[in-house]
Structure 1
């Protein structure tokens, strides 16, 4: 399929045959394909096969067809849980690209002229695998897959990136030596665009008038989903504007030769946590269910009565915290949240992800093919250090991650906080093994200093001197006192020292040059260094200029 479509030719065909510009463009593309095939066959009939061993044109890489089950088996290696979401997205992707291939190879089939795309809406907490699943899916299918944040775009014609730019960015990800070849690949084989944070573009009911950043963006996305012709080059880009200005300066009339691509073969996935509004999507669904009841899988209606509230136990209330109302969300709920009815209608598949539990996070660290633990082991192995991670350490990190409520994203932050000092100190040292236990995770700084046979007090004093140029003096009495406090508070000694002396950085601004002795009074008064700085500043202001 060719994508270089002069707009003038499309308009002439539409006028000549009294059809829409979209039908004219499709007919133009089909006729161009058939003409190229006929041209190649005619050359072979007249001259025989080429003798230089070459081909008439570079071969176009075909997209391999996968069944939904094959796609899910691949996703299972990387994404833990979220069975409903994975099943839905596998079905949507498998049938979408299978239909593209079928219609391309069977152009004579008139039963299905325009197949209905399985565009998908995905709702659920952040860090639960929505976008990551799409990344893994794109890698398997080997189709251009663009994942964007909706907040970066606005309605076409306004300052900033427009929705049309998403199509051009998708083209950038396609294989090809020229932009035309890249666009041809997308037009022929399709692609995936995942629009994350779509909930941030929901209409705000308090605003009056047209909201270009929200409702306007939704309408722009709606046009893309409905099959729109988009210029493969940005007509408003500086390069396009300069070219047009040069042609006018040379006395030539600027002739627009736009090359267009149809969004027909692009699968759209819209995702978000749907928590932006004062009334969250889950709250909307919950109120509807309590008011009207919910429908079981067998079709029967469940209506909550007055007695049910009386019988609700504390255990039931606790269970309510973990109930996922996203799976009950219907079209009306999304519309009430602030999405356009037309947009919701063009995204017929609606699914959800669950909040990740501690057990899920443990499995993510141990059972996936690209586990973060495998990455850390490899990073240390590069410097000749063998890392072993105990089960109790994995449980500890999973507990912290679950409490953070940010899903799998929390795991990287937690591990980095634990291992940062080890990553800095151990490479190049005599240590060749590192066993990560729960105790090490709870007290990483103290455990590292113990390994290095270094006092946490000496380490803090050295760090403070390098950072602020001030020598702190902590005698045995002060060190013993801090150790007792650390034990009582169940804190690291290093963390306790920092909590006591963090405000001592004021000494740097007081031009302290001599060693500064820390006393018990300083530790017992959290505002000591603040008061000391204020007194010093007042003395400075009182001095004559």
Structure 2
């Protein structure tokens, strides 16, 4: 009787193992590498949103791919460990006289599939080999696309991302934010899903502002080297305990204002699988690199001389020839090719800039973004998804106005942004100044079309008060489509042809009635 009961217990347990085996084999299949976009796929996606920066996009695509490959590898090893435990349990509970499985065919098939996957995956995976974590440091001037690269990658990977400005971070005990705030923001963006947050991306922007200059040695360092020290364990990968106020109830008070009740909850986040992207403009780093390379060249020349040159004289000569500018320095290589100085950044340069060696050692991948040139800014205006020109055309479309901007005008805007030295971010500021009065005059009027040409941009540059400029923009009523197409075609034939097809008109020659700013008063009257 006792033997019969034990056999029934074994059958019941084996049936449960079989059902779990089917589930486990499915989970293992879901963690295959095919779920990670390849580096080429990642770069292709980045190309749709970001102009230029081919080297930076390749470096980040490979780094992100390898990072999530590492996460999947850890997940696969965990699943193999579970399968091993099941198989070991099967050996313990098996009976010599009774087969372990007397359940349904699904359980038996799941068990056989689990054993087959375990044997196959065990040959592919080296369980003693643990892949190291590779964080990324991105160096580049303001407006070159550092933050946009990170947010775009998070979009294609469908992982949460948190961007933290390092200038807000201080040491514990001082007024400001502790370094753990970046993990808290990631948890909130992951909707308090710990597992999802642990596979997210944290961007530490303006890391160069934490650099401690040599002149500050011996002074109180509230948001410099001390914060860098605090970041070490988080970046390397440790479990961090956070107390976060989590919304638990939404209500409406007596004055019909929405209120949110929050409750303190404790979360433990393992940062070992979080990808850290550290970014900064590192203003002046290019000049430091040029100095380092010049000193090396002079040292090589000095070795051929009988008497080495005086180091103080070399420093005086360098200061004498030193020129400050908004543009990044170029370095001429031995083969005669000129490259941006930031492309030659080494960990030693970053340590000399003021970052501690321990932090640099935890960020093995370093890439530099190029300063944007006029052609880059021109393409940024109209080519990427969510392009700036598309946004303004959509805004004007909302109040029934067709915005037309010629190619020459766009090139002038790009040249204007290049001269101001504000990168891609500066393009929006220029467009706002350019279309300020147009956006003010058009809504509620009879204006149907607006033309921004090269003369319009020139008038913006020549105005005395650029923040509230009165630019020379051409307005057209709805019955002057031919005049619009003709004027556009004189400066941009391609745009003129597109408008002609779109509006269903051909530019017939007649005296145009072009509404300037003076026409606005007549409309409003």
**TM-score bucket of the superposed structures, by smaller chain:** 0.5 to 0.7
Structure 2 residue 143 is matched with structure 1 residue 143 = no
Residue 424 of structure 2, aligned match among 392, 398, 408: 408
Note if contact 1:65-1:97 (Cα within 8 Å) is conserved in structure 2: yes
RMSD of equivalent CA atoms: 4.0
Structure 2 residue 247 is matched with structure 1 residue 222 = no
Q: What is residue 384 of structure 2 aligned with on the other side?
A: 368
Distance 1:78 1:386 in 2: 24
Q: What is residue 147 of structure 2 aligned with on the other side?
A: 131
Structure 1 residues 47, 336: CA separation in 2 closer, same or farther (over 3 Å shift)? Answer: closer
- Normalising to structure 2: TM-score of the pair? 0.63
Structure 1 residues 106, 417: CA separation in 2 closer, same or farther (over 3 Å shift)? Answer: same
Residue pairs, 1:29-428, within 5 angstroms: 45=16, 64-107=35-78, 108=80, 109=125, 111=127, 114-175=130-191, 179=192, 182-187=193-198, 190-207=199-216, 208-209=218-219, 211-234=221-244, 258-275=266-283, 280-293=284-297, 321=329, 324-428=340-444
Distance 2:451 2:404 in 1: 5
Note if contact 2:139-2:368 (Cα within 8 Å) is conserved in structure 1: yes
Structure 2 residue 472 is matched with structure 1 residue 447 = yes
Shift of 1:117: 1.6
SS in 2 for 1:339: coil
Structure 1 residues 332, 421: CA separation in 2 closer, same or farther (over 3 Å shift)? Answer: same
| C-alpha distance after superposition, 1:174-219 (max 9, x if no partner) | 14xxx3xx112223xx111111110000012122156131111111
Structure 1 residues 86, 446: CA separation in 2 closer, same or farther (over 3 Å shift)? Answer: closer
| C-alpha distance after superposition, 1:162-185 (max 9, x if no partner) | 11111111111114xxx3xx1122
Note if contact 1:153-1:162 (Cα within 8 Å) is conserved in structure 2: yes
Shift of 1:454: 4.8
Note if contact 2:243-2:265 (Cα within 8 Å) is conserved in structure 1: no
Note if contact 2:451-2:473 (Cα within 8 Å) is conserved in structure 1: no
SS in 2 for 1:432: strand
Shift of 1:158: 3.1
Shift of 1:289: 0.7
SS in 2 for 1:105: helix
Shift of 1:361: 0.5
| C-alpha distance after superposition, 1:473-511 (max 9, x if no partner) | xxxxxxxxxxxxxxxxxxxxxxxxxxxxxxxxxxxxxxx
Shift of 1:157: 4.0
Distance 1:78 1:447 in 2: 32
Structure 1 residues 385, 61: CA separation in 2 closer, same or farther (over 3 Å shift)? Answer: farther
Shift of 1:114: 3.9
May I ask how many residue pairs the two structures share in their alignment? 375
List alignment gaps of at least 5 residues for structure 2.
Answer: 1-11, 21-29, 81-124, 248-263, 306-316, 318-324, 331-338, 461-469, 476-513
List alignment gaps of at least 5 residues for structure 1.
Answer: 1-40, 50-59, 240-255, 295-300, 310-316, 463-545
Structure 1 residues 449, 74: CA separation in 2 closer, same or farther (over 3 Å shift)? Answer: closer
SS in 2 for 1:443: helix
Shift of 1:428: 2.0
Distance 1:141 1:361 in 2: 27
Note if contact 1:290-1:304 (Cα within 8 Å) is conserved in structure 2: no
| C-alpha distance after superposition, 1:299-341 (max 9, x if no partner) | xx999999xx9xxxxxxx9998555211111111100100000
Shift of 1:103: 1.6
Structure 1 residues 302, 131: CA separation in 2 closer, same or farther (over 3 Å shift)? Answer: farther
Note if contact 1:149-1:196 (Cα within 8 Å) is conserved in structure 2: yes
Distance 2:187 2:326 in 1: 48
Distance 2:19 2:228 in 1: 54
Q: What is residue 312 of structure 2 aligned with on the other side?
A: none
Structure 1 residues 326, 105: CA separation in 2 closer, same or farther (over 3 Å shift)? Answer: same
Distance 2:195 2:370 in 1: 38
Distance 1:287 1:399 in 2: 30
Note if contact 1:156-1:164 (Cα within 8 Å) is conserved in structure 2: no
Structure 1 residues 131, 385: CA separation in 2 closer, same or farther (over 3 Å shift)? Answer: same
- Normalising to structure 1: TM-score of the pair? 0.61
Q: What is residue 83 of structure 2 aligned with on the other side?
A: none
| C-alpha distance after superposition, 1:266-310 (max 9, x if no partner) | 1111111112xxxx211221111111249xxxxxx999999xx9x
